[in-house]
Structure 1
Amino acid sequence: MSASHAAPAQAPTRSRVTLQVNGSPRTLTVDHRATLLDVLREDLGLTGAKKGCDHGQCGACTVLVDGRRANSCLLLAVAQDGTEIITVEGLAAGGELHPVQQAFLDRDAYQCGYCTPGQLCSAVGLFAEAAAGHPSYVTDPTRPSGQGPVELTAEEIRERMSGNLCRCGAYPNIVAAVEDVTR
């Protein structure tokens, strides 16, 4: 084969990334097609985030990425290089449960528990969003955006948690648990 007809060089299919996971840097070589969820579960052994629908519709895989809620089944791990990832395993600190985790226990805000890790991470994320003044669909539209924290009423909590499905129907207790943390 002449030099002008050489086969094209094959692009790499794996890359080295460093993720800050639950406060610890983790450097891995990941397949470009691997989702963050699969890397967390299969490569790092963090099985709290669940593969529910694998289409970003149920919220069972919710984690915090740079402090914001994200469906880890929709994120390519290779694109997360340098980000801070908090999973449900990283919410507790110093041997103490995160206040949201404790409230879920106190309120019996789970049944089968499958969705609970995503619900917990989503709740932690919504606290930051509301504190930063980010409105939701049910926030009073006359309220200027970014003008202080949004009050987390039961209606606000239900709306902000609506991306996390619970097949068991523990929604009333989930809302009550999140409300408990806001007091």
Structure 2
Amino acid sequence: MSHEKITLKVNGETITRATAPDRLLSQLLREDLALTGTHIGCDTGQCGACTVHVNGHAVKSCTMLAVQAAGTDITTIEGLAAADGTLHPMQAAFKECHGLQCGFCTPGMVMSAVDLVQHHGCHSESQVREALEGNLCRCTGYQNIVRAVMLGARGTAPRSQP
């Protein structure tokens, strides 16, 4: 199988890699770039553990081919914190509210929550629950996750619309 050379920006760093045309973005991130915070739970786009931001919007990386990501700007959970290690407000809120149990779903939940706040605001618990429907927590920690998103929203600035 021939490989295609792609260039994309991941967590602020420009990356060029040769990749097979059928390689998933989740595989590229985890296996080629060692960004293992992007978890693979179902590999079918149903659990949301692999959620990353592509050009500022939440995307389940197991549903996108790496070649489709060529030329995009990708942020993974590893790129959400500040360069000095200071947690993003949403990450800090998940920690403070114990919005994680086993932690497997947490990166995808956080990335989806940041997308919610940046693009739609965070106005109610029901809005948070609806927005996170595509992210599954097998530990059933939803109440604390919702609390964490509500708290994290207070410190996350909405993205200005172009």
- With normalisation by structure 1, the TM-score equals 0.81
Partner of 1:73: 62
Instruction: String of CA shifts for 1:74-103, please: whole Å, max 9, x gaps.
Output: 100011111000000000003210000000
Aligned to 2:124: 153
Counterpart for residue 97 of structure 1? 87
| Counterpart Cα distance in 2 of 1:74 and 1:13 | 21
> Does residue 80 of structure 2 align to residue 109 of structure 1?
no
Structure 1 unmatched runs, 5+? 1-11, 132-150
What does residue range 8-87 of structure 1 map to in structure 2 within 5 Å?
Answer: 13-87=2-76
Please state if 1:176 is matched with 2:147: yes
Distance 2:2 2:69 in 1: 16
Q: TM-score normalised to the size of structure 2?
A: 0.91
How far, CA to CA, are the matches of 2:31 and 2:113 in structure 1? 25
The aligned residue for residue 124 of structure 1 is: 114
Following superposition, which runs of at least 4 residues in structure 1 exceed 3 angstroms of deviation? Answer: none
SS of residue in 2 equivalent to 1:64: strand
Identity of aligned residues (%): 49
Q: Work out the CA distance in 1 between the residues paired with 2:65 and 2:123.
A: 32
Tell me if structure 1 keeps the 8 A contact 2:91–2:152: no
Question: What are structure 2's unaligned runs of at least 5 residues?
Answer: 155-162
**Larger of the two Rg values belongs to structure:** 1
Structure 1 contact 69–121 (Cα < 8 Å) conserved: yes
Q: Is the 8 A contact 2:90 2:153 kept in 1?
A: no
Q: Which residue of 2 aligns with 1:140?
A: none
Q: CA deviation at 1:152?
A: 2.0
In 1, Cα distance between the equivalents of 2:29 and 2:81?
18
Partner deviation per Cα, 1:12-37 (whole Å, 9 max, x = no partner): 72110011000000100000000000
